[in-house]
């Protein structure tokens, strides 16, 4: 997947400025793609040049004008072509997992602290995703929404984000507890 597809997906729900898009990426898209704000602005310019999004200037009082973007028919076609191609396998590159793998030869204390930090980050993201699910669902329970909701794609991808963050949180807490118990039992803090 290229950043262009993630941007097109984020714009499916409406007309957004680059600034608004960065906020959407912070919450709604962060469960499947990360991009820095400067990357998003550059990608919007490319997408507009390629005719996949349309931009227009919006006058604002007391602030500089802003540019907002929407997906064009060509952009939806690009997403259709993208969806038809088999996905690449998921690749994980995680520095913390490498540290855990080597922890038998390291002082476990910094690794344990990092595991707790990661667990807190995952819990915070999980809370954001759960709020988003509730907002997307509205007054419907999950089963009814999945059966009758207008657009379930964002909901389903957010569900995946929830499950991922919950699993990360649980793995970090379990791993930190295991390492702490082993260090306490052996009295070993350093190799």
pLDDT one-digit tens code per residue, 121-175: 999 989 988 998 998 899 999 999 999 998 888 899 889 989 999 999 999 999 9
CA distance 21 to 29: 10
pLDDT one-digit tens code per residue, 132-147: 899 889 999 999 999 9
pLDDT one-digit tens code per residue, 23-54: 887 766 666 677 788 888 999 999 999 999 99
Domain boundaries along the sequence of the chain: 3-84, 95-189
DSSP strands (E only) in the chain: 16-17, 53-58, 66-71
User: CATH topology for 3-84?
Assistant: Arc Repressor Mutant, subunit A (1.10.10)
Count CB-CB contacts under 10 A for residue 183.
17
- pTM for the complete prediction? 0.73
**At a CB cut-off of 8 Å and minimum separation 6, what does 51 contact?**
72, 74, 75
Of the candidates 161, 2, 160, which has an alpha carbon nearest to the alpha carbon of residue 81? 2
For the record, the structure tokens of 102 come out as 């080597």
pLDDT one-digit tens code per residue, 62-118: 998 999 999 999 999 999 999 999 988 877 788 999 999 999 999 999 999 999 999
């Amino acid at each position: 997947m290229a950043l262009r597809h993630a941007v097109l997906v984020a714009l499916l729900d409406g007309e957004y400025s680059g600034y608004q898009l960065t906020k959407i990426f912070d919450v709604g898209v962060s469960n499947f793609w990360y991009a820095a704000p400067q990357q998003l602005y550059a990608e919007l310019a490319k997408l507009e040049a390629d005719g996949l999004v349309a931009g227009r200037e919006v006058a604002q009082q007391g602030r500089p004008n802003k540019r907002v973007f929407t997906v064009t028919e060509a952009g939806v076609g690009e997403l259709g072509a993208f969806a038809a191609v088999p996905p690449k396998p998921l690749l994980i590159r995680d520095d913390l997992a490498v540290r855990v793998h080597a922890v038998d030869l390291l002082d476990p204390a910094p690794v344990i602290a990092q595991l707790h930090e990661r667990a807190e980050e995952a819990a915070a993201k999980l809370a954001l995703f759960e709020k988003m699910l509730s907002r997307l669902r509205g007054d419907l329970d999950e089963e009814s929404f999945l059966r009758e909701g207008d657009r379930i794609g964002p909901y389903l991808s957010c569900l995946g984000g929830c499950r991922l963050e919950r699993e990360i949180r649980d793995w970090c807490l379990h791993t930190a507890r295991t390492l702490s118990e082993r260090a306490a039992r052996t009295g070993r803090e350093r190799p």
